[in-house]
Amino acid sequence: MTEIAPKRRKITADGLDASSVLVSIIIPCKNASAFLPECLASISAQSEFIDPEIVEVSLFDDGSTDDSRDIVREWESRLREEGFKVITSGHDSSRGCGFAKNRAVEQSTGKYLCFLDSDDVMMPERCAAQLTECKDQHDLIVGSMYLRIPINATLRYAEWHNNMSSAQLTTQQFKECTVAMPTWFISRRLFDRVGGFSEDGPGTPEDLIFYHKHLQGGGRVSRVDQVLLLYRFHAAATTQSVPCKTIMAHKVSHLEAMLLGKLKSFSIWGGKLARELYRSLSPASQDKVVCFLDIDPAKVGTEYRLRGSTRGVPVRLWSDAGRDPACRPLVLCVKPGLTDGAFEANLEELGLREGEDVWHLVDSKGCVRACA
């Protein structure tokens, strides 16, 4: 069960230069007037657990056409009165979330970066808890548990994020960002090493691209096992605008870079999504696929062949993965949580080791998710 963070000792400015900023809260903003007051009030509440004088708010407005800028101006004065440093800027044309995040980081000065979407709400303990986990860890993305708003929105997705073990934060990296981006807390050194977010504009999964670059560069991921964010879901969220094919292309590229390029052979378990993965692979990776695994007896014994190809890939019974080492490792392209536990029971029956014998590609929403 997800638990609210307990009380903790306050982090003070003792030992720091009076002008030092330890944590910069990075806020990209666009047309968030309905949510900004609650979001910015949650920054004010951080002062219970960390001195405001070592916290900086850096907000970049990406062409808002509502009352967002008026609300920001009001809260800018209020936060400064409370001791926070505040930097705000923006422009009139929208260049996308990646652009806005990069500009907010560039104008900030903190040693550590706490990312906050303008429609979300931080728990008062967030900055202090994640700073404690992240301090002097310059190869680490620190996330946290969260509660969804509305409470039942994307339930399986939230349960997956909140219930993974520390090992699964790495082994399930091909599904999605294993820590939700609005909960990220990182060092500036890490941000600079990765090179910031993609600025290719709307429809780009800039968070997923950053996450993949981080891991491919040897980076690590951890999670504070406390609820530190109220993570809002609504139809206008930018993560809902990324095309499915774009997500799949980035996931396949990462899968090949981090796993398939190192294997001599592998199998794929699943139906339609498994075929989609196979078609998306490079020819070199396609040649390594020894079989498809399926639960449908009507498909077992057939072959799957790309149009115009002379090579057919046999379809074998799912249980062969447990009996025949030639079927391992396998990439799972099965959406979890849709079979009343039957798929999960079958997988457990095989006794396969996650991260060695089996790797997950599909998250609770299918292949088509970015880092929400």
Between 370 and 140, where is the model more confident?
140
pTM equals 0.91
Residue 365 above 70 pLDDT?
no
Q: E strands along the chain, which residues?
A: 23-29, 55-62, 85-91, 112-115, 121-122, 140-149, 185-187, 220-232, 266-269, 289-294, 303-305, 312-317, 330-332, 358-360
pLDDT tens column, 32-57:
999 999 999 999 999 999 999 999 99
**Token digits of residue 359:** 């790797």
pLDDT tens column, 108-154:
999 999 999 999 999 999 999 999 999 999 999 999 999 999 888 88
* pLDDT value of position 17: 58
DSSP 364: T
Most confident of 70-74, 243-247, 295-299, 359-363: 70-74
* pLDDT value of position 240: 61
Q: From CA 246, how far away is CA 103, in angstroms rounded?
A: 24
Q: What is the mean pLDDT of the chain?
A: 91
Least-confidence region, from 5-19, 48-62, 265-279? 5-19
Strand partners, 304: 313
Q: Is 314 exposed, middle or buried (0-12, 13-18, 19+ CB in 10 A)?
A: middle
